Amino acid sequence: MSARTRLTTFVTLASLLASTAVAGAAECGGDLAAFLEGVKAEAVSNGASPDAADRALAGAAIDQKVLSRDRAQGVFKQTFLEFSKRTVSQARLDIGRQKMREFADVFARAERDYGVPPGVITAFWAMETDFGAVQGDFNTRNALVTLSHDCRRPELFRPQLLNLITMVEHGDLDPSTNTGAWAGEIGQVQMLPKDIVAYGIDGDGDGHVNVKKSSPDAILTAARFIQSLGWRAGEPWIQEVTLPENLPWEKSGLEGGTTAGDWFALGVKPRDGNTASAALPVGLVLPQGRKGPAFLTYPNFSVYLEWNKSFIYTTSAAYFATRLMGAEPYQKGNPEPGLSDTEMKALQTRLQSLGHDVGEIDGILGSGTRIAVQKEQQRLGIPADGWATPALLNAL
């Protein structure tokens, strides 16, 4: 029986004792040794062997650098043009296409079995770790112990720690040496243990899922995970378009409620000339307003937002994938100048005072702020493209 399928069977009394221990264990904080005993008891009650739990947790320690990173997470304040220029470089495109040729058989299997095109996986591979070159140097076990023990978000990280124990039992991870991101993501496409356990694929046939060292494992596991997020095979995800001078700008945005064909009828034109998906619902996305790059976002774009909530990251990743699949570079246009960090916070504060829900006053033109901007633009008779400008701030 393989390590992947072998599970230890426990007698009823042992399970009862483990469940009782879990019920009395602190969910976070307190003495670390007692906390780890609680984690072990929960893992055993879920079916892990005591030996696997011991091996996974032996030597675990709190990593203060992880706590520092968690407390000081940066905010995403680059524009689409700035971020995409940096991330979708010619060097990355060249390496990505080389990787797609090198692992052509693996990518073909990923698309056959899970419906995910090569460019989609490769773009994530590039943006997350530069094709595996930069995977993080935090001990994964310690990172997850730290974030589980910390009482800020234990409900998010304790399940990841329990799944790390599962990976140890399967022989897929060495807890003493495995490194990754500070928040516990592992491997060439940076996935959390729970998702690796749920969607892991042994792509190279060695009997293990090693998304850190095996590119076939990472590619196929990513494909299966992307499929689980709702990927629709055979459909586009994003498409660059050119715009006429006048449109109902208030209908732009991710939640436009229109079809691609509706926009085509108004003079929106795909740069690649492909109108085959006219019946699909889309959003008209204008990352820097109506004078900058413009894209139609199809239902598959929602998968990108499940992967990463940052609008700029997801739009860049989706665009990157189209480039890998043969699309031309986007037209930069001539966007109106945006707002500085101080100005954006002032705008958010003003929008909040007008009754709009912009979320945290963080200086980021996120979805809530964009929607509020659009509503105020429409009220003021300004083209409602959702792009925050000095003119709008002055008008408010």
- Nearest C-alpha neighbor of 242 from the set 293, 315, 289, 317: 293
Strand pairing class (238-242; 269-270)? antiparallel
Quote the pLDDT of residue 5.
Answer: 31
Please classify residue 74 by burial: count the beta carbons closer than 10 Å to its beta carbon, then call 0-12 exposed, 13-18 middle and 19+ buried.
Answer: exposed
The radius of gyration of the chain's CA atoms, rounded to the nearest angstrom, is 24
**13: Cα separation from own chain's centroid:** 42
Q: Contact, 345 vs 362, CB < 8 A?
A: yes
Query: Using CA atoms, how far apart are residues 14 and 330, in angstroms rounded to an integer?
Result: 61
Write the single-letter amino acid at 103. Answer: F
Beta bridge partners of 283: 297
Q: Contact, 198 vs 224, CB < 8 A?
A: no
Write the single-letter amino acid at 25. Answer: A
Query: Using CA atoms, how far apart are residues 392 and 370, in angstroms rounded to an integer?
Result: 12
Nearest 5°: phi and psi at 60? -60, 145
Please classify residue 72 by burial: count the beta carbons closer than 10 Å to its beta carbon, then call 0-12 exposed, 13-18 middle and 19+ buried.
Answer: exposed
Strand pairing class (281-285; 253-259)? antiparallel
Instruction: Go through the chain and tell me how many residues it has.
Output: 396
Q: Contact, 256 vs 373, CB < 8 A?
A: no
Write the single-letter amino acid at 333. Answer: G
The 10s digit of each residue's pLDDT in 205-250 is 999 999 999 999 999 999 999 999 999 999 999 999 999 999 999 9
Pick out the chain residues at pLDDT < 70: 1-26, 73-76
Q: Which residue has the tokens 């929607």?
A: 371
Token representation of residue 227: 């499929």
Quote the pLDDT of residue 17.
Answer: 35
Q: What is the pTM of this model?
A: 0.90
Q: Contact, 93 vs 287, CB < 8 A?
A: no
Query: Using CA atoms, how far apart are residues 350 and 348, in angstroms rounded to an integer?
Result: 5
Quote the pLDDT of residue 372.
Answer: 95
User: Could you tell me which residues come within 8 angstroms of residue 26 by beta carbon, excluding any fewer than 6 positions away?
Assistant: 34, 35, 38
Beta bridge partners of 383: none
